[in-house]
Amino acid sequence: MSDMYKPDGISSDGFVEVLGETYDIIGSELVFNFTGTDESTEVLMAMMTEEAMCHNCNTLVKDSLLLTTTIGEILSCKGCNEFVRVIEEEE
């Protein structure tokens, strides 16, 4: 389903409309290609962020969804309209 919509198509409460049907993103099975290989994942939780740094567009974005998935956290960036894997920086 991830290839059927972009972050700007997801509502702030975690719903997406595809071809006239509304789906809850929680429990959805998505496929992402962050490493050069397709990775299937399930969305376990979605929550709005007040602010998050997008490592794709290098923008501090407001009011974007942060998805907790079986392969880690994924930011649904409203700035660049892409799904971006969240990488924790080591201290």
Model pLDDT for residues 45-91, shown as the tens digit of each residue: 999 988 889 999 999 988 889 999 999 999 999 889 999 999 776 55
Q: Given a cut of 50, is residue 34 above it in pLDDT?
A: yes
| Per-residue confidence (pLDDT) for residue 89, from 0 to 100 | 60
What does the block give as tokens for 56?
């794709």
| Per-residue confidence (pLDDT) for residue 45, from 0 to 100 | 94
**Among 36, 28, 38, which residue's Cα sits nearest to residue 68?**
28
Q: Given a cut of 90, is residue 41 above it in pLDDT?
A: yes
What distance in Å separates the CA atoms of residue 18 and residue 33, rounded to the nearest whole number?
21
| Per-residue confidence (pLDDT) for residue 14, from 0 to 100 | 87
pLDDT one-digit tens code per residue, 7-27: 888 888 888 887 888 889 999
Strands ordered across the beta sheet of 82-85: 29-32, 39-54, 59-69, 72-77, 82-85
